[in-house]
Chain A
Amino acid sequence: MERRADVSILEMTAVELGRKIKSREVSVVQATKAALEQIKALEPAVHAYVTVDEEGALKKAEEIQKKIDAGELTGPLAGVPVAIKDNMCTEGMLTTCSSKILYNFVPAYTAEAVRNLEKAGAVILGKTNMDEFAMGSTTETSAFGVTRNPWNPDHVPGGSSGGSCAAVAANECFYALGSDTGGSIRQPSSFCGVTGIKPTYGTVSRYGLIAYGSSLDQIGPIAKDVTDCAAVLETIASYDKKDSTSIPREDCDFTSALVDDVKGMKIGIPRDYFGEGLDKEVKDAILAAAKVLEEKGAIVEEFDLSLVEYAIPAYYVIASAEASSNLSRFDGVKYGLRAKEYEGLHDMYKKSRSEGFGPEVKRRIMLGAFVLSSGYYDAYYLKALRTKALIKKAFDKAFETYDLILGPASPSTAPRLGESLSDPLKMYLGDIYTISVNLAGLPGMTVPCGLDSRGLPIGMQLIGDCFQEKKIIRAGYAFERSRKYQGPAIAADPKAAAAQAQRGALCGNAREWEAAAAAADKRPADVGAGKEVRS
């Protein structure tokens, strides 16, 4: 009886739950407990979280219920439990970026986006796993073990916000925050069959987001549907004086765009997105989705965007260069890991960083240091910035004609675990449809649009011009009306979860370092205990 009630809670979208909380049909504690139980049941199979704050969440749930009862919190998300990607600082809660180098970092401040959620009455369940410092497309570069795709545990959830997307898909939270530097919200959303928005650069404050590529990073919502994403984005978007790149906007009432009407909307499909390398099943699903919008009255046309293939090399130069500088602060002096044995200052730096960073992070900071180094700055860095200008211009031109651009979020569905890391360059090529959007600062959204023959989700990407989130929200919403949200089997079936946990346990060794660190070091025991939910 009880459990069935919980399952029905878990299947709600964030906005639905918010409504039920408001109407007293569900209490905040009930919803929080349901999510925590789901986490306990599914984490062994999924491992979406790095930290689960059970105690804090329950305490917060009670507080928020009181505020709702007192009429102090009235927003659509009040009392709805959320998961936060572990690169956003949360006061008093471990924030690791899934890196050893921050294995024990507990910030004294909270990221502005998260604060905006807190003000709206969010209950934070915990912090989600990610590629280390958001560098990766599979969540396999996490120092704390891989996250598995809830649709199939042999596959990755995508990345870098793989933990957030998997948590949403597995009903381990009602919505989540992710961050997107080159596709890190849109690609894993596609792989996990959930909806995610990367807003226009500057819409959501970056204060408290641990930087990877500062000129590209944006925080955005990940949820079960477009309505949730619009409501969350409306809540987290704010002009923040603490972030110089934050942009004051008057048009953040994104939920007003939830209108089932695309009549006359001009949608462009870049021919260059449908060439070599795109999986046939993905291609068919995207074109079918475009057809749905066309049938609803949109004008869909093919066009040549141009420069698509140049986005990847430009991105890797710019992002790596910024990362090499952004990550230099992790040096064992002020916080995080310091090597146990070293001789003198520079050795301390080198040993701490070499122990603390994983191979993908090292690869990128070395590349970044190289492209900025004396004699190469013009040839690589400035060249990449010039390419970025050209890419922006190509989009500007496209948006003179089209209201939005429609295409895939990724060339394929989720690859198998271990398949991508063996060839970094190949992994980078998978970002081809998402990266240029970051370079141009544009908003982009992934909406699920089907499954491939293996039962893995396919996502369609909608790209808008700067500040045109409402257009992509409207199109996404209209499309979504044509189909029903579908989650993975394990989300609603604890038995399937248990079976997958058996397979999940096979890769449990990824947590060994963490356990050893918890035992040997000052890592807060309660936080560690909260997440150790082995079967």
Chain B
Amino acid sequence: MANKISDETIEYVGILAKLDLSDEEKEEAKKDMGRMLDYIDMLNELDTSGVEPMSHVFAANNVFRDDVVTNGDDRENILKNAPEQKDGAFKVPRTVE
């Protein structure tokens, strides 16, 4: 495998993606990601110099809304699926500060 994923990398990606992986899962993830990156490295065979990265396929632009209030109080629906709520707000573990 050309791409060797270190323990630190998997740890770091876990922090970024907010995933808690068991040691077994970590080993698995290292292997999977290494293989995928090896495969993705195939793109390096392509000469893309001078090619603009294409995020949108179509040249559509300037899609706007007018500045007009269209929504009213919909709190009941917004909170309906909350795992925990209190006083009309989403309840979460205390955040620092």
Chain A positions within 8 Å of B, measured between CB atoms, are 104-106, 108, 201-202, 215, 241, 244-245, 247, 307, 309-310, 312-314, 316-317, 324, 328, 331-338, 342, 344-351, 353-354, 357, 359, 362-363, 365-371, 373, 380, 382-390, 392, 424-425, 439-441, 466
Contacts and interface: CB of A to CB of B under 8 A. Distances in A.
A244 B61 CA distance: 9
Nearest to A350: B20
A332 B82 CA distance: 8
Contacts of B21: 354, 362
B57 A392 contact: yes
10 contacts: A108-B78, A202-B60, A313-B40, A313-B43, A333-B83, A345-B96, A359-B28, A369-B17, A389-B51, A389-B54
A334 B21 CA distance: 23
Contacts of B55: 215, 385
A349 B80 CA distance: 20
Contacts, number: 162
Given A369-B16, A383-B48, A310 B43 contact: yes
A425 B35 contact: yes
Given A366-B14, A366-B19, 8 more contacts: A105-B81, A313-B39, A313-B42, A333-B82, A334-B90, A366-B33, A383-B48, A385-B54
B23 interface: no
B51 A366 contact: no
Nearest to A307: B46
A202 B60 CA distance: 10
B52 to A, nearest CB: 6
A316 B20 contact: no
Nearest to B42: A313
A245 B46 CA distance: 29
Contacts of B90: 333-334
B18 A316 contact: no
Interface in B11-65: 12-14, 16-21, 25, 28-29, 32-33, 35-36, 39-46, 48, 51-58, 60, 63, 65
Contact of B83 (A202, A332, A365, A424): A332
A335 B18 contact: no
Interface in B58-78: 58, 60, 63, 65, 74, 77-78
Contacts of B41: 313
Nearest to A424: B32
B54 A345 contact: no
Contacts of B82: 333-335
A316 B56 contact: no
Main secondary structure of the interface of A (DSSP, over half): helix
Contacts of A425: 35-36, 39
B54 A386 contact: yes
A53 B32 CA distance: 39
Interface of B: 9-10, 12-14, 16-21, 25, 28-29, 32-33, 35-36, 39-46, 48, 51-58, 60, 63, 65, 74, 77-78, 80-84, 90, 92-96
A382 B43 CA distance: 11
B51 A386 contact: yes
A317 B57 contact: no
Most buried by B among A245, A368, A370, A371: A370
B43 A387 contact: yes
Contact of A346 (B10, B16, B18, B60): B18
Contact of B46 (A346, A390, A392, A424): A390
Contacts of B42: 309-310, 313
Contacts of A337: 83
A380 B53 CA distance: 11
Nearest to B16: A369
B13 to A, nearest CB: 5
B43 A384 contact: yes
Nearest to B96: A345
Contact of A345 (B32, B39, B40, B92): B92
Nearest to A393: B51
A380 B44 CA distance: 9
A244 B55 CA distance: 14
A351 B20 contact: yes
B18 A349 contact: yes
B93 A388 contact: no
Contacts of B96: 345
Contacts of B44: 383
